[in-house]
Amino acid sequence: MTQQAYSGLIPRDARPKEQVVLFSIGEYSFVISASSVQEIRSTDGLGGNVVDLDRPVLSKVRHIVERDARSYYVVSGYEHFHLPLSRPRSVLILRDVPVAVLVDRIEEMAEMRILLGMPRSFRGEELIWYRGLTVLARKVLPVADPRGFLTAEELQRLEDENPGLLQTAGHPVGTSRHERERV
């Protein structure tokens, strides 16, 4: 009796899949999980919901935006990733963190089948920024970690310098006004 040599391999179609949003900042492309994005809007569509921070403590965050009774810190994508100045036309409003990210354009929705760990040569901020790397359309792309746009320390610094902007006393950052009113 002989065993097939490849019996333990997972067929190509059976690999885990994840829906992702492919976006660009300048000439650079990135991927983020679609499940971590609550909404994608044009920067023109934000209208009067944008408020300037009284005391910007991070160069990448100068505004907040309110959407559906929740407030989000607006992170400049090009400043976050240390890229050349660009002209953002879209904003990714993230789901589980109080962050909205300015990006130049949304390229497409795609299906990610491979998530590779970060190479050991990466040792700096990129270990916070990215979940790993993936391959889409024969290009290797970084997969953004939604929690990497603003770390817990950065969120605390923003709140310390702009008290009450995203919360009232005793309520977590990013809590909606409706959630605060129910308490």
Model confidence pLDDT, tens digit, residues 18-42: 999 999 999 999 999 999 999 999 9
Separation CA 89–CA 103 (nearest Å):
6
Q: Is the pLDDT at 7 greater than 60, yes or no? A: no
Show the DSSP H helices in 41-122 as ranges. 77-80
Separation CA 65–CA 141 (nearest Å):
28
Mean pLDDT within 61-80: 92
Q: Is the pLDDT at 121 greater than 50, yes or no? A: yes
pTM of the full structure? 0.81
* Residue 117: partners with Cβ closer than 8 Å, 6 or more residues away: 132, 133
Q: Please report the pLDDT score of residue 13 as a whole number.
A: 59
Question: Among 6-10, 51-55, 97-101, which stretch is predicted with the lowest mean pLDDT?
Answer: 6-10
Share of the chain above pLDDT 70, in %: 81
Helix (H) or strand (E) holding 32: strand 28-33
Structure-block tokens of residue 173: 């950052």
Share of the chain above pLDDT 90, in %: 64
* Mean pLDDT, the chain, integer: 84
- Outline where DSSP puts E strands in 36-138: 37-42, 50-52, 61-67, 70-76, 90-94, 99-103, 105-112, 130-136
Where residue 55 falls among pLDDT bands split at 50, 70, 90?
A: confident
Separation CA 181–CA 65 (nearest Å):
19
